[in-house]
Amino acid sequence: MVLVRNEIQVKRVDCSIPNVCIVDVNLEEDVRIMGVYAPYSRSWNLQNLSTFVSDNCVIFGDFNVDLEQDGNKAESLLDWADSLNLSPFVPDCPTSLRSDRTIDYALSNIANIGIQKFNTNTTSDHYPVLSILPMKCKQRINGKSIHWKVFNLFTEYTFSYWEKSWCFQNFDVAYDDYIKFLHCLIARCTVSFPLNKYRLAVPPYLRCFMSYVRALSFRQSQTNDNDLKKQVYYLRKQIKYELKLFVSSKLTLASSSGAMVKNSLEMCDLAANFYEDFFRKSENIVRPHPYVDAHGLNSYMFNFLHSSHWSFLLNLYNLSFSSFFLPISWKDTRIVLLAKNDSVCIPAQTRPISLLDCFQKIGEKLFLVRFRDVLYRRGLLPDNQSGFREKIQIAN
């Protein structure tokens, strides 16, 4: 099985050989990746793979052959690889848990592949291997569409399961499992597709300006007016200039050396380093780095979450109000930076905004309604109390 990110285009290559999976990855240069499991009892030999080897090809797998210890078997494998201009790339440490042998590696005609054993707890009798291919991915602009009706049906069908699985003795575990389920369900209902043409979310005044120029252009095509043609040409140049200014006004961070950082991951690391030092209270404090969305949920989901699910969430809110209980996941936030003045600035000149858990926002709204009711009924706030309140006007 080969798992690939949605942003990367791949094509499955038909292959009837057992325990062999082949995909072509569409990068700046196409790369063929072959996953192979070659047990001693296999009904095929390596020659069957020869027709699938192409330029920029890499074969990962469990070959059940140690290139240093297995003598004739190793020689046979290397002779076959040499005939196809494939070089072995082997981890430095043994990969088999049952023997001191390295039998998981890569064969490729790509230069400088990095590969290493991943030391982790595993239920397999092999350690996983990690590899890096020195290839560049095409810059793509992808759109996505979420099938919310499918999401709604799945939440309805799974209600009985979650009703039984919801553990009222341990809300932390139950809630954490539930939001992970919702996040995975949204991801499964999401379809990603490349955008050949796209339009930025431009401000209203630019949209109106573009509509006006489009109308003038249509009128010019109908009347063939040369003066109007010159005016449309001039206005189009002005629109391009305004759009260029708008795009350049997006947030860009400057490092301590003064270099401009526009890559989103590098900006995230730079901002996280600054705010970790800014909010540090002791050397032992541990903060997530970089700051990422912990749950991947958004409030738009509530329009399609089946109404039956609120029955067991209601118990969570009631427990929170009656016993001052907050699930641990409610304390996770996603940090978004806004520029205070100029769009190009250092991290110290940004304003961090915390995006709270969606269900916690519901809890805050429920608390606010009840808290306001107590304030109004008991008259705890005078009419001249500062602050914005509904149906309260303060005379000057």
Asked if residue 351 belongs to a domain, the reply is no
Asked if residue 103 belongs to a domain, the reply is yes
Domain check: are 93 and 122 in the same one? yes
Last-in-domain residue among 112, 132, 152: 132
Domain check: are 226 and 372 in the same one? no
The residue segments making up the domain with residue 151 are 141-198+295-331+357-396
Element (DSSP H or E) covering residue 87: strand 87-89
Confidence (pTM) = 0.51
Query: Per-residue pLDDT for the chain (396 aa), expressed as one digit of tens each?
Result: 888 877 788 899 999 999 999 999 988 888 999 999 998 888 898 899 999 999 889 999 999 999 989 999 999 999 999 999 999 999 988 998 888 899 999 999 988 888 999 888 888 888 899 998 888 877 666 777 889 999 999 999 999 888 888 766 687 888 888 989 998 999 889 887 776 655 567 788 888 888 888 888 888 888 888 888 889 999 998 888 888 777 666 667 777 777 777 777 777 788 878 877 776 654 444 444 333 346 778 788 888 899 998 888 888 888 888 888 888 888 877 777 777 777 677 788 888 888 788 888 888 888 888 888 888 888 887 777 766 667 666 555
Asked if residue 262 belongs to a domain, the reply is no
Last-in-domain residue among 86, 111, 132: 132
Asked if residue 75 belongs to a domain, the reply is yes
Domain check: are 176 and 153 in the same one? yes
Q: What is the pLDDT of residues 269-304, one digit of tens each?
A: 888 788 777 766 544 444 443 333 467 787 888 888
Number of domains forming the structure of the chain: 3
Domain check: are 301 and 164 in the same one? yes
Domain check: are 210 and 190 in the same one? no
Domain check: are 74 and 39 in the same one? yes
Q: What is residue 284's predicted lDDT score, i.e. its pLDDT?
A: 46
Domain check: are 179 and 108 in the same one? no
The CATH code of the domain that includes 22 is: 3.60.10.10
Give the whole-angstrom CA distance, residue 45 versus residue 80.
11
Q: What is residue 393's predicted lDDT score, i.e. its pLDDT?
A: 65
Q: What is the SS3 assignment for 70?
A: coil
Domain check: are 32 and 99 in the same one? yes
Asked if residue 211 belongs to a domain, the reply is yes
Asked if residue 81 belongs to a domain, the reply is yes
Domain check: are 106 and 226 in the same one? no
Nearest to 373 by CA among 365, 362, 361, 363: 365
Considering Cα of 259, then 263, then 268, then 269, what sign does the dihedral take? negative
Domain check: are 83 and 114 in the same one? yes
Give the whole-angstrom CA distance, residue 8 versus residue 288.
27
Half-sphere exposure of 277 (CA within 13 A, CB side): 7
Q: What is residue 153's predicted lDDT score, i.e. its pLDDT?
A: 93
Domain check: are 177 and 65 in the same one? no
Domain check: are 312 and 368 in the same one? yes
Measured between its terminal Cα atoms, the distance across the chain in Å is 71
Q: What is residue 140's predicted lDDT score, i.e. its pLDDT?
A: 66
Element (DSSP H or E) covering residue 58: strand 57-62
Asked if residue 159 belongs to a domain, the reply is yes
Asked if residue 322 belongs to a domain, the reply is yes
Q: Are 225 and 261 in contact (CB under 8 A)?
A: no
Half-sphere exposure of 374 (CA within 13 A, CB side): 5
Give the whole-angstrom CA distance, residue 119 versus residue 72.
30
Last-in-domain residue among 113, 132, 151: 132
